[in-house]
Structure 1
Amino acid sequence: MGFNPQLDHWMYRDVSEVISLRFSNLCLSRELEASAKAVLVWYAERMASGHLKLMFQQLLRFALHVGKSRGGPVAEFSDTDLINYRVSLDVRNLWHFGQLSTLLRRWHEFGYAGVSGQAYVLLKQIRNPGVKKGRAVLTHDPHEGPFTDIELEALQRALDRAYQRGDVSREGYVLTYLFMLLGQRPVQHAALKVKDVTVVEQKSGVPIYLLRMPRAKQQGQLVRSAFRDRLVIPQIGKLLVEHAACVRRMFEGVLEDPSEAPLFPATSRPHVEPAGFQFHRTRNGITALLQSTLEPLQAKSERTGEYLRISSIRFRRTFATRAAMEGHGELVIAELLDHSDTQNVGVYIEARPEIVERIDKAIAFRLAPMAQAFSGVLIENESHATRHADPTSRICDPRFDPSMRPIGSCGSYGFCGFLAPIACYTCVNFEPWVDGPHQAVLEHLVDERDRLSKDADARIAAVNDRTILAVAEVVRRCEAWQKERDRGG
C-alpha cells in the first residue's frame, strides 16, 4: 500500500485519492492505538479508501468524546462509553453510531484488545438506524438532487456552445458528457486508461464505441480487476476516440506502454502514485475538472433562478432517475449504477411519478425569467436584424400566422439543420420581432404538451419544456416593450 502501518501518520496516494490519517489525534493509549491500526489495516486492504477514511472519522469522534469525559488517553472502550456517546447524538446523526458499531464489533471479533466484552454484547443488542438515503432524490432537492430535464438541457446547450467557441477543452467536454451519459463515480473515471476506449465495427460497417469502465472497488477486489463495457453514443464516442489517441501520443516515450496512460491525466503529481497508476488523477481531481468545465458556463435553474450547483453525484442521481422514468426496474438500475445489489436503488423508483410536472402558460411565465432559456436578441423590426438585407433570414410559419407574418430573423450565415421556428427560440442566433406571433407559438406548444401528456409517455410530452420557457420569455419581453412604448407615447 506504500505506507508503514506502525507510523503515527498514514500518508499515501491510493488510486482514487490521497489518504492522510494521524493516529495521535485519537488520544488513545499505546496499546489501544496499536489495536486501532491493526483493525484499520484490514479496511485499507479490502475496502475503498473513502470507506477507510469514514471509519477513521467515526473512531475519532467516539475516541475524543470518551477522552473528554475521562480527562486523558483512553485504554479501553466500555459499554458505559458507548451508552454515553449514543445519548450525545441527535436523531439526525444516530447513523454515526451504526457505523462505529460495525467497526468496534469487527475489532472485538478479530481478537484485538480494547473493546470490552460488555461493550461487544451491547453493540450486538442495539439496533441502529442506517444512513438516511435518498432524501435529495425523493424531495427533488434543487441543490443536491437530480437535475430536471430543463436544467440538464441548459447545461448541455451551454456546454456545446462553449466547446464550439473553444472555451472548453476536449478533455473537459468528453468527461462531462461521460458523467451525463453513464452516471458513473469519479473514482471510476480516475482509474480509466487509454486502452479502455475501443471501437467495434458491425457487419453493416457502422462503428460501435465502447468504454471499458472499471468497477468501483468492491470488497475483496482490486481496482481494475473487474470491468463493465458501457456503450457511448457516436457523437461523443468519436471525440472520445480522438481524445484517447491524443493522450496516447502525449505519453509516447514517457511510459513504456502509452496505452497504459490515464484517459484523463493529472496536471500535477504532488504524491507518489501506486504502481500502474502513474499520472492518474485522484477522484477529487476528476471532480475538479468536471466543475471547472461547467461552473464558468453559469447555467441557471428554472426552479431557483440561481446558477446550477455542479457535483458528480447530481449527474449520477439524474442518470438513475431518468432510467426509472423510462420504465427500468431496480435490477437494471443497479446494473447501470454498478451496484452489487438493489438495496439503494429503490428510491429512484419511488421518486419516478414526481419528475415531470405539468407546465401551462401561467407556470411558463413564472419560470421563464429564471430559466434563461431564451438566449437570442429581441428586435423591434427587420431593420434591426443582423441580416436585414437578406429576405431569406426571415422565419415564418403559416401554423402561427396564415398571412406569413415573420416570427423573427436568423442572425446566422451558416446552414442550420434544426426545425424552425420551434428550435429557434433556444438558439443564440435567433432575433424575434416584437410584433411576431409568439403568443400563438406558445399556445401551440402548451396545447401540444397537454395532448401528449394524455396520449403518450410523460417524457415525450416534456421534450419541448425548455422551448416553452424560451417562448414565454419572448412573449413576456414583447409585452414589456409594448408597455414601455405606450408609456413613452
Structure 2
Amino acid sequence: MTLNTSKSKEPLNSNIEEVLLLDKSVVEIDFSGKTILSSDMGDHTFDFSWTMPHGTAKKSLLTCLRKMFRTHSLSYIQNCNRYIGHLFKGQEGESVTLNDIQMWTDNHRPSAWPFLQAVLSRCQKLGLPGLDVELIAFLKSPEKFEEKGKGAYFALIVNDPKRGAFTEQELRNIREGVNRAYESGDLDTYYWALIWLLIGTGVRPVQIARMKVKDVIIHLGQKVKKSHWQFPWPRERNPQIKESGREKLHLC
C-alpha cells in the first residue's frame, strides 16, 4: 500500500506523532487536528479536533484509537474516529454516560453503533477512566438492560456485531421454547434436530437444503468418532451452477 500524508497548517497546539500502521509503514498524524492519509484504497481523513479541549473520556478514547492503527484498517479507524467526534460534539468530554449513548443513537443509523462500541469496549477492558459506571455495566452485559430498552437500548443490543441479531433473552426463549415443545410432543424429533442444527451451527436453511450425503464425512478413531460437514456457500443461488466452494464445519 502506498501512503502519502497531508496535514493542514500546523497550529501552535498541534500534537503530531509518528504512528505504525497495519501494513508496518510509519506515518505522522496530528492527534489534535486534521490529517489526510492517501493510500491505494483512497483518501482517509482523520479529524481529531474533537480532542480539544482535553477531557478525561476524550484522552482515554484517543489512547484506544492510537493503538488501533496497528491492528485495523484505515477505513475502519476513520469511521470509529468520526463517530467518536460526533459523540463529543459541543461537550467537554470529562465522561461518557449511557444517556449520552442513547442521545447519540437518535442521530445515527443502527449500523454506526458497532464502530463506536468497538472503541468504548476497548476503553472499558483497558480500565481507562472516563466511562460512567452504568455505561460500563451495559458494555459488559447488555442483555441485563433488555427490560429497559424499547428504544435506544434495544437498537444497541441487536446491532452488536459479536452477539448477532438476537438478544441473549430472545435466544434463551427460543432454545427453551424448542425444548418444551419437544418434551410435550408438539415437536417431533426430526424438526427438533433440524432446529438445533440451525441454532448450533449458524448456517442458513438454504445451505442445509442443498447439502448432499457426501458432504457428511465421518472419521472413525480408536476412541472417538468425529465428523465434519461441508456446507455449500449461501451465495450460490442457482442449483444448476457447479458448486465452486463449500465451508467445512468440524463436529465431535
Q: Give the structure-1-normalised TM-score.
A: 0.24
Instruction: Tell me which protein shows more helix as a share of its residues.
Output: 1
Higher RCO, Cα 8 Å, sep 6+: 1
Larger radius of gyration: 1
Q: Give the structure-2-normalised TM-score.
A: 0.44
